[in-house]
Structure 1
């Protein structure tokens, strides 16, 4: 009787683990951070750069739009180098700025030399932090949300 009870308990435990334990060993895609929009993101120093992209009609001149949040306790300047041109975005401590969003003007990039629909390397850095290069998408104004950003 005890053997039968032990076998039943072991079988029930095996079924319970087999039916519910797969989440313990299976890869969970929801734990991965990703960019849910058309742009890309980067972290540099205390700055979080989100949804950075360039809008251009011909690949020669473009409007860069992005969002930058400063989680630090000091003001910071984000430097973005595209080819030979460098643009800067000042971000106060604990604040977020978004050139190209709402009433904010986008950052104008001249001499872009990029292919619309492709990627362009952008080097991002800030005060005293190690910079990094990211591949930023270059889009045109076909989508309604970008048509007003075409330079």
Structure 2
């Protein structure tokens, strides 16, 4: 009787180990970083660059609207320099401690957290180099996808073809 109980326990443990064994050695997909949308991501020191992409009108393409989220994981603010292309067109954005700063969501309001790249000559479907940097940290150069306003979600992100004068 005791042998049966012991055999049942051994058999149950063998079945449990056999069915759970794959989970012990297989890589878990949830631990791997991936870009869940159309953009690309990177990191510069304490600043995480998330889901960066550029929207242009796809016809004239003289202006590109950089859409990106900058996440500051530090306890102090950082002034992030963003430059792009061979012309070195750039902007600076301050990101406060613990802040997620979203850029490019309101191209119809040029003074509200927008980075317009002009002159811009990349076509939708291509990649465009954008460099993110702050302070003494080594920057990151991302090959950012260029999209057009063909999808309803991106339609409102198309920049104006002529930008108003900035003060």
Q: TM-score, normalised by structure 1?
A: 0.86
| Per-residue deviation, residues 74-100 of structure 1 (Å, max 9, x unmatched) | 221111221121222111223222122
1:24 is matched with which residue? 24
1:147 is matched with which residue? 155
Which has a greater percent of strand? 1
- Pair 8,36 (structure 1): closer, same or farther in 2 beyond 3 Å: same
Gaps of 5+ in 1: none
1:90 is matched with which residue? 94
2:126 is matched with which residue? 118
| Per-residue deviation, residues 112-151 of structure 1 (Å, max 9, x unmatched) | 2212112112111111101111111100001122212212
Partner SS for 2:52? strand
Distance 2:141 2:132 in 1: 6
**Counterpart pick for 1:106 among 114, 136, 147:** 114
Distance 1:92 1:148 in 2: 27
Q: Is the 8 A contact 1:119 1:135 kept in 2?
A: yes
Q: Is the 8 A contact 1:82 1:112 kept in 2?
A: no
- Pair 70,105 (structure 1): closer, same or farther in 2 beyond 3 Å: closer
1:8 Cα shift?
Answer: 4.8
Q: TM-score, normalised by structure 2?
A: 0.78
1:78 is matched with which residue? 80
Please list every run of at least 4 consecutive aligned residues from structure 1 whose deviation after the TM superposition is greater than 4 angstroms.
1-9
